Amino acid sequence: MAVEPINKLPAMKTVVREVRIGVVAAYGPDGEDSAYCKETVPGPVAIDVTGLAGDEQADRQHHGGVDKAILHYDFDHYSRWRVEQPRLAGLLNSAGAFGENISTSGISEVNVCLGDRFRLGTALVEVSQGRQPCWKLGHRFGDPRMVAEVLRSGRGGWYYRVVEPGMVSPGDPVILAQRPCPDWTVARLFATLFTRAGSKSGLEELVSQKRLAASWRERARRLLAN
């Protein structure tokens, strides 16, 4: 699929509210290691193909790697979560509850698409998949049901692979540079792969979509087989 000409791209631009990194520490109910809890840093922070400098992952089989180098989450979701989950409101007053690296307002799963390339500070990053939460998110909120709630809502955030290394700081612009897959919003990815709302043809398209991370293409294959 051809990349849309720059003059046809939607005018999507926001700024980085926070840059957050985490180090591996005891986290789970049995002391399992994780770097889920991330702290805001002033920047500038270097970005390379593995993500933000200083950001660690304890379980490299399921976290990190080139297709999950940076996790982006829309801070505007927090107000909606506070309404839907009032008992958790105390955990939802500031960014970081979802383990995100990049916090912004104004762009979300409904208007960000697979393969979108954003200029993030001076780096160029590409949307590789949505974020499928695991037990660590449930542990953060003290309620394992939050994992299913995030998947149901489609408000899981999204991952980037890094196309061009660079630097990022709070206040830096996030500007859409290319959009090769305008029909595949991150919200549609979630609906297709986790709510069975997608069509067979949609799953077939995802299986062969090279911009989609390999693990999510495999999920599409399994859904087709079943």
**Per-residue pLDDT tens for 74-86?**
999 999 999 999 9
Q: Which of 91, 80, 90, 93 is nearest to 153 (CA)?
A: 80
Helix axes 214-225, 200-207, angle to 10 degrees: 140
pLDDT bucket at 62, cuts 50 / 70 / 90: low
Tell me the backbone φ, ψ of residue 70, rounded to 5 degrees: -140, 130
pLDDT bucket at 28, cuts 50 / 70 / 90: confident
Chain-wide mean pLDDT for the chain? 93
* Radius of gyration of the chain measured on its C-alpha atoms: 17
pTM higher than the cut 0.85: yes
* pLDDT tens track for 123-171: 999 999 999 999 999 999 999 999 999 999 999 999 999 999 999 999 9
pLDDT at residue 5 above 90? no
> What is the rounded CA–CA span in Å between residue 97 and residue 58?
18
Q: What is the mean pLDDT of residues 174-189?
A: 97
Q: What is the pLDDT of residue 6?
A: 47
> What is the rounded CA–CA span in Å between residue 126 and residue 111?
14
Q: What is the pLDDT of residue 43?
A: 82
pLDDT bucket at 9, cuts 50 / 70 / 90: confident
- 10-181: which CATH number, 3.40.50.300, 2.40.33.20, 1.10.3720.10, 1.25.40.10? 2.40.33.20
pLDDT at residue 59 above 80? no
pLDDT bucket at 2, cuts 50 / 70 / 90: very low
Percentage of residues in the chain with pLDDT exceeding 90?
85
